[in-house]
Structures are given as C-alpha cells and as structure tokens.
Structure 1
C-alpha cells in the first residue's frame, strides 16, 4: 500500500539522483532501469524533468547523464560545519586536557580543494602551537590536511597532485604517504609546515565512510616521546568514532 503522505514522483526523482552516490561516471537509461526497476517510459519523463531543471546534464553524443550544476550549488549549501563543530568541541577540550597539547578540527573546502581549521583548543603550556581558526592551507601539506586528502576521490586527489607538482612538491612521496595514511587511518607529519612542530591527525568519517573532517594534535618536537604517536593516534581515533556516532545517530 502506497504512503499517501509522500509523493511517489518526487521519490523516484530522488532515487535517480541517489544512483550517482556510487558512481562518478555518466549513467545511461539502462543503468537506471537495472538499478531502479522502473519502466523506460517513466524514467524518460523523470530524466527529462531533471535535465530541464539542471539537476542532470545529458551528453548529446552518447545519451549519458551526469549531475547538473543545481546539484553542485545545493551541495555547497549543505554545509556540515556548524553541527560538526558543535559535536566535536567537547572532544577537542577533553583531548587538549588529556594531552596538554593544542587540538584542532579541520574540514575540506571542496571549491578550492584546501583544508581549513574551523575550531581549536590551544595547549595550556607556555610554549605551545597556535592554531589559527579560519586558516586555509594546501591539502598536501601537514597531517591534518593530508589525512583528509587520502579520503578524497581519485579525481580530486589528481587535481591536488597536479597543483602540488606545479608548486615543486615531491608527488611520488606524497602518493606513498597517502596510501600509508589510508591503511593506518591516521597521519603523522614532522616539521612539514612549521619547524620544530609535529602533528598527528585522524579523519572523521560517517558510518558510510564519507569524509566529514579531521582531528589533529599539534606539539613541539621536544615534548615528543617514543610512545607519543601511538598514544595520540589512539586517543584521536576514539574521539573521532564517538563524534561519528553522535552525528550519525
């Protein structure tokens, strides 16, 4: 029995858009037919409507469909930053208290493909690392940003790698670093951005594995002990998991 409180036509249109969640390629009519089990006639009407309102784009050469600019514009407005910051702040405070170091929260600026610090709790030590909220830096520089870069699509990573190459970075080493980061699910950098400073960072992911941001601990190198990296990464991973649990609940 159908739910009369919702629109079947709208639901079908949204289901079409959802097909692109698992594909960055163009999709054709047969792909939608196989995935949604809807007739070609119904799908033609829905696809034509989505194209008309710029939620899909149709390739005239092969009749393939891709996401249109209105989806992109809406995506830019669907900013998880306020809730992410609100949920994460108590964990930043707790981590800073436990480690006595500066702890920060970062997100990706998908328009410029850079990393931005959106929240920070600074160490109580007299000699500490200052984290500037709102600071934007290249994603291939520093643990807090590289740990997010490792989670991006191959196409996005390629864009960043090309920019890194243009700016003189060692992209072969960077590729190896990204593979290692994805496997161990944390990043470590030492004097990569600032002399005398090391950083440990983990990604914050949804339960489906989509990137939300990163948590990082920054400290002067002279306070680093043999077990510091292992301890910091363990604490960060636990905090990131709890943040995910709250955001996805």
Structure 2
C-alpha cells in the first residue's frame, strides 16, 4: 500500500532543526529565563552547540537575550508568526462575513489587520460599492501609531506587549495630524481605551479617515483590529459616533466568534494598568 503523503515520515528529519525546536519548547515550558549551560544540561548537548543555536535564534528574533544575566527567553518573532498563523486560518475565514456586514451597515470599505514586523498589515478587506472609496488592498502596511487599527491594538495589548511595540517605533510625520511623540501617543491610547475605538484623523494620509476597534481571542488577548476607511468628508465628526458604534459592535461579534467573553473583558478591566515606559 502506498504511504500516506499527509503524514510526515518519522525516519526523515534534520537533527539541527530538531534541536532548535527542543530549545524553543523548553523555553516555552519554563516561566523563567534559561542560560546556555542550563539548556545544554537539560537537553544533554554540548554547550558550544547550544550556544551557536542560541546566537542564531537571537539574530532572527526568535529569542531575546537578557543582557544582565546572559539568559534567554522567547522572542517577538514567535509572537508575530503565531499572530499571522491564527489570522490567516481561523480569524481570516471567520472575519469575512463580519466585514461584509460592516460594509452594509456603514457604506464604507472594511478592513482587518494584525501586527507583523512592528507594523500594521491588512490581511482581509471588503470594499464598498461607492464610486469614491479606499481600495481594499490586502498586504498593505501602515505604522501602528497613525492608523486606527494600530492604535486599537496598542491600546488593548498587555502593558508589556504595548511597551515593546512602542519602543520600536520611529516616529515620522506623514501629515499635519500625525502623532510624532511617545508622550502624545500615550495620551491618545488612554482615550482609545476609554471609548473603545480609535480614529485615524487624516494622520497617515490627507483626506482619509479610519475608525478601528480591537478583536480579542478566547484568552482575552487582542489579536487583530477591524476598521472602516473612507474620505474625511463622509467620516465627519457628526458621523463618527454612529459609525464607531457599528465598528465596535462588529468587532465584538467577531471576538465572540473567536471565543472571547464578557467575563474576560471584566477581568482585564479590573487589573490596574500603568503607562508603558517610552
């Protein structure tokens, strides 16, 4: 009988890749950081071999090295890849009907985005049929600090995650309304947390406004953001509350489909939050 191509052959493997996954798994299982010596002992490998693997993993951001004790922890590249993997499978397929509903409610193009490589990347969109509209370009990248989706994700991420992302920002003024300092961004993120949505008020492109809200998973973690985008004159100050309500409601519905519950929201709200250090 021919072999089943859907199942991996256990006899075929690359030893160095096996060792890489052993290191990642061991660090994932431990709450504390681990050094090269301890990793080598637990994995029964030569320290020089482990050291070479650690340096390579750090280079590609799969691991982070603590300069104070030379020990390692999992890096942000794993978070980015994990976020993309989830978004392109369950999240992507689940989001489509919600995006379509949002377009019908608001009359504007709807987008879904996630963080990757320190930027906001669009992974799904549904265009409005209006003649004047923002094209729904999947793969479009924009800065976190001047996009409604990016600000939504920053505002509702954990303190540690938000601080790490903010430290990586190199502020640049794209328009007269662009936020260009960490201090101003912190004030804006506090406002976003209070009202539940973020507005890109012509901060990345002139004459373009966006309204975004966070999407959460079953663990209460923000994994994406949903938004609408359109010309500034259609997303005027009088229209923003009505449109924002539709975006927030739809993002909550998608979050519920991902397993998010009100209990998780209340638990998160009960925890004191400090401002991330810029």
TM-score clears 0.5: yes
Aligned match of 1:224 in 228, 235, 252? 235
Equivalent positions of 1:126-141 (< 5 A) are 126-141=131-146
1:153-173 CA distance string (max 9 Å, x none): 31221222xx11699952132
Name the SS of the counterpart of 2:205 in structure 1.
coil
Per-residue deviation at 1:104? 0.7
1:90-109 CA distance string (max 9 Å, x none): 01001101111111111110
Equivalent positions of 1:99-118 (< 5 A) are 99-109=106-116, 112-118=117-123
Closer, same or farther in 2 for the Cα pair 1:140/1:47, shift >3 Å? farther
Farther off after superposition, 127-136 or 94-103: 127-136
**Aligned pair 1:67/2:93, yes or no?**
no
Equivalent positions of 1:133-212 (< 5 A) are 133-150=138-155, 151=157, 152-160=161-169, 163-164=170-171, 170-171=180-181, 172-212=183-223
**Aligned pair 1:241/2:252, yes or no?**
yes
Per-residue deviation at 1:144? 2.1
TM-score (norm. length: structure 2):
0.63
Which residue pairs with 2:6 in the alignment? none
CA contact (8 A) 1:47 1:56 kept: no
Q: Matches of 2:67 and 2:109 in 1, distance apart? A: 53
CA contact (8 A) 1:108 1:116 kept: yes
Aligned match of 2:42 in 36, 40, 48? 48
CA contact (8 A) 2:27 2:33 kept: no
Q: Matches of 2:250 and 2:29 in 1, distance apart? A: 30
CA contact (8 A) 1:101 1:123 kept: yes
Which residue pairs with 2:98 in the alignment? 91
Which residue pairs with 2:127 in the alignment? 122
Per-residue deviation at 1:248? 2.5
CA contact (8 A) 1:204 1:215 kept: yes
TM-score (norm. length: structure 1):
0.69
Aligned residues between the structures? 212
Q: Matches of 2:118 and 2:254 in 1, distance apart? A: 23
Name the SS of the counterpart of 2:121 in structure 1.
strand
Which residue pairs with 1:4 in the alignment? none
Per-residue deviation at 1:147? 1.6
CA contact (8 A) 2:111 2:122 kept: yes
Runs of at least 5 residues in structure 1 that lack an aligned partner in the other structure = 1-12, 21-25, 29-43
CA contact (8 A) 1:187 1:202 kept: yes
Name the SS of the counterpart of 2:114 in structure 1.
strand
Runs of at least 5 residues in structure 2 that lack an aligned partner in the other structure = 1-23, 55-61, 261-278
